[in-house]
Chain A
Amino acid sequence: MALLEIKNLHATIEGKEILKGIDLTVDGGEVHALMGPNGAGKSTLSAVLTGRQNYIVTEGSVRFKGQDLLSMPPEDRAREGIFLSFQYPVEIPGISTVNFLKTAVNEHRKYKKLSPYTAGEFLKILREKMELIGMDNALLNRSLNEGFSGGEKKKNEIFQMAVLEPSLAILDETDSGLDIDALRLVATGVNKLKRPENATIVITHYQRLLDYIVPDKVHVLYDGKIVKTAGKELVAELEKRGYDWTK
């Protein structure tokens, strides 16, 4: 059984059709890159998969671990193991990343009918993941994303991913606004989290992130459809020739 199976997916926002029949299958252990010009529907696809309101699916189906993903509320999709690294992570003043994550982790555990972590258990996990990702303790005790630099925000996304251990991670333009050092750090984190049973979808415009997170498959999304799928060699070709030839 595939981890994620998207069939003929059509979706609209405010009456405008953005996704016009997407077919995509992702298996455990795979890294997929989703590329394409602005407005092709890349972020819309991540919004539809994670259940953001106002995105309306008009046709098609999505199965995640064999279940009908589209009928689940967004929080259950997250608890089932879908994680989105946001292009623009939001700020929540007054709530530290530690507290936020503790709430999130325990919601995941409740869903799986496990007892919530005690403060001690949670701190142990936190320390482990901080070391893995190279996350700064001071940052974790500050209000969630408030006053964080672009790089710190993205790193915090990857840190949350490390703690929540999703089966499917979607990285939405994680490279945007990052300098090369921050990009390398973030990519290293993602690579360390790679497991045989887990998959990653990397949404990006550029080659540079894919130099560090090497995809198994590369898809070009154009005008709401996947117009080309190939191996990692496609990345270099797109970088050289642009998207027009794939149409």
Chain B
Amino acid sequence: MAKEQDDLLEEVTGSGYKYGFVSDVATDMMVKGLSEDVVRAISAKKGEPEWLLTFRLNAYRHWKTMKMPDWGQLKIPPIDYQDIIYYAAPKQEAQKDWKDVDPELKATFDKLGIPLSEQKSLSGVAVDAVMDSISVKTTFKESLAEKGIIFCSFSEAVKDHSDLVKKYLGKVVPPTDNFFAALNSAVFSDGSFVYIPKGTHCPMELSTYFRINAAKTGQFERTLIIADEDAFVSYLEGCTAPQRDENQLHAAIVEVFVEKGAQVKYSTVQNWYPGDKNGLGGIYNFVTKRGICKGENSKLIWAQVETGSAITWKYPSTILKGDGSVSEFYSVAVTNHYQQADTGTKMIHIGNNTRSRIISKGISAGHSSNSYRGLVKVMKTCEGARNHSQCDSLLLGDTCGAHTFPYFEVANPTAQVEHEATTSKVGEDQIFYCNQRGISAEDAIGLIIKGYAGDVINKMPMEFAVEAQRLLQISLEKNG
């Protein structure tokens, strides 16, 4: 009986990646490989100030002394860091005027469903579009600026808001933090910068769309978000890449600073090319995301839907420093075929009466491996911390794996920490029950997954919840 069930699931879960096309855009590429010269060249290309070059070089020198982390539940093939191109940019730099944007670039983002024309845009969403190493267009920049909100590419921020960048860069993810953070700090090329001034509620969703286009390249972007006192912003990140037989590296850093009374919601829809059904190709997604709730009663929410990448290594984390600060982490991670994901969060409770909540939902199909890894740490001086963690795994079929690695380090006896975990399987009986009500097997699996992941999907910004839902289904759907 198990055999037929597997056949059915195999049929339903064979995936078709819809964003695998390559755009023919004139690209300016650096030579392969990494050295101090390459780091200097990237910095020179961007016309960076001396302090930033020093930041990069220090990171590079430290990186050379480090080893790739090997503690994940991941089988990472050896990566030749000299065989990667560290800078590739569409020849055209970011354009202020829509009519000046290269039509091929426009077409690319149109095809991805990311409107870069403000007229065509989703209502209430501003977009920074990053292709390979540079930002090609940021929408609604001017209208946001009227409220004092800064939303621009990282390169522009370095030029125009150097003091802010210098003050915050590397302060929550130091360049020496880990192997990939050091690598990123040495070679990062672009990304997004957000600053919300005191008492300002950002009137629209801000989002960055990351696209890898060029072959043999890596993407190393940085995002820096600062919410000043009592500010509010909801930010969303999306990503896709062409379908290729080679593995491409994406090593990003996201830093978030939340001041007193401010609130940041950071959502991710990660749909990098996952590789084919035999595990060939796909993106290595090694990302460091961390925020700090600096001020009292500040709040940081992480919501992520992870469906892409051959390998995902990512733990969006929060340092709860301000008294009464709150952080929540909501995650759905789908792995299919030979995908591997090791993802979770870290909640570091420092301030008194800090609270954190973790809801993680793993969905594994095919021969994939899906792990939750999370740390809840309560410092000795932190009184009255509370945490609730819930980690669920859903298995489709018998050849995939799900693992849960929760870590708790509680040094203060007043803390209340709770952990729940479940593992379930989509049963042939559930699918048949749906069939008998007139629902096809594909739609049945979609429905079951929707029910399972609903708690998390509901946390995504409304405009993207539908998209995220659809993505979950597509990544488990059969071909064509």
Given the complex, which residues of B lie within 8 Å of A51, measured CB to CB? 435
Q: Hey, which chain B residues are within 8 Å of A95, CB to CB?
A: 447-448, 450-451, 454
Closest to B452 in A: A94
- Whether B438 is near chain A, meaning CB under 8 Å from some CB there, is yes
Task: Kindly state whether residue B1 has any CB partner on chain A within 8 Å.
Answer: yes
Which parts of B429-454 form the interface with A (CB within 8 Å)? 429-430, 432-441, 443, 447-448, 450-454
Q: Which residues of A contact B436 (CB under 8 A)?
A: 50, 74-75, 78, 83-84, 86
Report the contact-size class of chain A (Cβ under 8 Å from the partner). 20 to 34
- Given known contacts A53-B432, A92-B448, A95-B451, A111 and B4 CB-to-CB distance under 8 angstroms: no
CB neighbours of A204 from chain B (8 A): none
Chain B contacts of A108 at CB under 8 A?
Answer: 438
Bound-complex Cα distance A169 to B251 (A): 57
A91 — nearest CB in chain B belongs to which residue?
Answer: B430
Q: Contact: A90 with B4, CB < 8 Å?
A: no
Residues on A with C-beta less than 8 A from B435 are 51, 73-75, 78
Report, as a range, how many residues of chain B touch the other chain: 20 to 34
Is B428 on the interface with A (CB-CB < 8 A)? yes
Tell me which residues across on chain B come within 8 A of A73, comparing CB atoms. Answer: 435, 440
Encoded as 1 (CB less than 8 Å from any B CB) or 0, chain A from 47 to 90 comes to 00011111000000000000000000111001100011010111
> From residue B444, how far is it (CB to closest CB) to chain A in Å?
9
Most central of A73, A79, A88, A100 by chain B CB within 10 Å: A100
For A80, give the chain B residue with the smallest CB separation.
Answer: B438
B427 interface hit (Cβ, 8 Å)? yes
Closest Cβ neighbor of A96 among chain B residues: B451
Would you call A164 an interface residue if the criterion is a C-beta within 8 Å of the partner chain's C-beta atoms?
Answer: yes
Residue B8 at the A interface, CB < 8 A? yes
**Interface residue A152 (Cβ < 8 Å from any Cβ of B):** no
Taking CB atoms, residues of chain B closer than 8 Å to A107 are 437-440, 443
Judge whether A14 is part of the interface by a CB distance below 8 angstroms.
Answer: yes
Within 8 A of B (CB), among A76-134: 78-79, 83-84, 86, 88-95, 100-101, 103-104, 107-108, 111
A166 to chain B, nearest CB (A): 10
- Cβ of A198 under 8 Å from chain B: no
The contact string, 1 if C-beta is below 8 Å from chain A, for chain B 450-467, is: 111111000000000000
> Which residue of chain A lies nearest to B3 when distances are taken between CB atoms in the complex?
A54
Residues of A contacting B432 with CB < 8 Å? 52-53, 74
- Cβ contact within 8 Å between A111 and B438: yes
Known: A92-B430, A143-B451. A78 touches B8 (CB 8 A): no
Q: Is A167 part of the binding interface, using a Cβ–Cβ cutoff of 8 Å? A: no
Contact B451 A92 (CB under 8 A): yes
Residue of B nearest to A104 (CB): B437
As a 0/1 sequence over residues 14 to 52 of chain A, the CB contacts with chain B under 8 angstroms (1 = contact) are 100000000000000000000000000000000000111
**Chain A residues with CB under 8 A of B427:** 90
A95 to chain B: closest residue by CB: B451
Q: Closest CB-CB distance, A89 to chain B, in whole Å? A: 7
- Majority DSSP secondary structure for residues of A touching B: mixed
CA distance A90 to B424 in the complex (A): 14
Q: Which residue of A lies closest to B435 (CB)?
A: A74
Q: Which residues of B contact A111 (CB under 8 A)?
A: 438
* A100 vs B1: C-alpha distance when bound (angstroms): 26
Contact at B429–A90, with CB atoms within 8 Å? yes
Give complex CA distance A189, B87 in Å.
Answer: 70
A95 to B427, CA, bound (A): 15
A174 CB–B CB distance under 8 Å: no
- How far, in angstroms, from A158 to B443 measured CA to CA in the complex? 23
Tell me whether A92 and B443 are in contact in the complex, defined as CB-CB below 8 angstroms, given that A53-B432, A78-B435, A160-B437 are known contacts: no
Q: A53 near B448 (CB under 8 angstroms)?
A: no
How distant is the Cα of A92 from the Cα of B438 in the complex, in angstroms?
16
- From A93, A101, A104, B451 is in contact (CB under 8 Å) with A93
Closest B residue to A146 by CB, please name it. Answer: B451
Residue from B434, B437, B452 having most chain A Cβ neighbours under 10 A = B437
Assembly CA distance A91 to B452 (angstroms): 12
Q: Which residues of A contact B428 (CB under 8 A)?
A: 53
By beta carbon, the residue of chain B nearest A160 is B437
The complex places the Cα of A95 from the Cα of B452 at a distance, in Å, of 8
CA–CA, A2 to B15, complex, Å?
A: 43
B447 contacts A54, C-beta separation under 8 Å: no
Report the separation of the CA atoms of residues A1 and B346 in the bound assembly, to the nearest whole angstrom: 67
Contact status of A54 and B1, CB under 8 A, knowing A86-B433, A95-B450, A143-B451:
yes
- Name B430's closest neighbour in chain A (CB-CB): A90
Bound Cα distance A89, B437 (Å): 12
Instruction: Known contacts A95-B448, A100-B447, A143-B451; decide if A78 and B437 are in contact (CB<8 Å).
Output: yes
Report B424 CB to chain A, min CB distance, Å: 8
Collect the chain A residues with CB atoms within 8 Å of residue B430's CB. Answer: 90-92
Q: How far is the CA of A79 from the CA of B443 in the complex (A)?
A: 15
Query: A74-B432, A92-B448, A104-B439 known; 4 other A-B pairs, CB under 8 Å?
Result: A53-B428, A103-B443, A107-B438, A143-B451
- Where the two chains meet, the residues of A that have a C-beta atom closer than 8 Å to any C-beta of B are 14, 50-54, 73-75, 78-79, 83-84, 86, 88-95, 100-101, 103-104, 107-108, 111, 143, 160, 164
Top 10 closest pairs, chain A to chain B, by CB: A94-B451, A95-B451, A74-B435, A104-B437, A78-B438, A107-B438, A90-B433, A94-B454, A79-B438, A75-B435
Give me 9 A-to-B residue pairs in the complex whose CB atoms sit less than 8 angstroms apart, sorted by A's number.
A52-B432, A73-B435, A75-B436, A90-B429, A94-B453, A95-B450, A101-B437, A104-B438, A107-B443
